[in-house]
């Protein structure tokens, strides 16, 4: 598939093209992620359109094992509830069950993800009005 996509100078799929065309991937390699690549990805994310052109997002990059382990526990708790509801409503839809199995795998291996980028909405509230809405 990479042969039909735009390549960078090193023969890799260009990051911006990959971000626009890649489907969801839940089984990730444990290889470290280069800081320059992380900054490029976050920069591209910050260029995405926002309502009113406002700056709503902040990103937290997590590499610390203890923090990732805590996030993994929280993710597993959330997935236990959400995934349980999804299983009930999925019926016999094989495609949905395949996705559920993939998310199950990701939840079990979450702390092995080399870098977790948490997208946060900036909603600082002063005088009852979030700063991003003023």
What are the structural domain ranges in the chain? 2-133
DSSP tally for the chain: helices H, then strands E:
4, 4
Query: Is 82's pLDDT higher than 90?
Result: yes
Give the model's pLDDT for residue 132.
Answer: 54
Question: Which of 100, 109, 25 has its CA nearest to residue 72?
Answer: 109
Helices of type H across the chain: 15-21, 35-46, 65-90, 94-108
Query: Is 93's pLDDT higher than 80?
Result: yes
For residues 107 and 111, give the distance between their C-alpha atoms in angstroms, rounded to a whole number: 8
CATH class name, domain 2-133: alpha beta
Query: Are the beta carbons of 55 and 132 closer than 8 angstroms?
Result: yes
Identify the residue with better confidence: 5 or 21: 21
Residue at token pair 């093209």: 17
The pLDDT of 2-30, averaged and rounded, is 65
Give the model's pLDDT for residue 67.
Answer: 94
Identify the residue with better confidence: 93 or 131: 93
């Amino acid at each position: 598939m990479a042969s039909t996509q735009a390549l960078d100078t090193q023969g890799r799929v260009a990051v911006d093209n990959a971000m626009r065309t890649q489907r969801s991937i839940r089984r990730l390699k444990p290889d470290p992620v280069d800081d320059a690549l992380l900054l490029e990805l976050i920069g591209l994310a910050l260029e995405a359109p926002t309502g009113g052109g406002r700056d709503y997002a902040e990103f937290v990059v997590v590499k610390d094992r203890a923090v990732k382990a805590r996030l993994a526990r929280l993710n597993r708790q959330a997935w236990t509830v959400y995934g349980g509801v999804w299983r009930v409503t999925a019926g016999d839809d094989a495609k949905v069950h395949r996705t559920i199995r993939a998310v199950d795998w990701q939840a079990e291996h979450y702390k092995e993800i080399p870098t977790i980028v948490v997208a946060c909405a900036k909603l600082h509230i002063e005088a009852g009005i979030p700063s991003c809405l003023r």
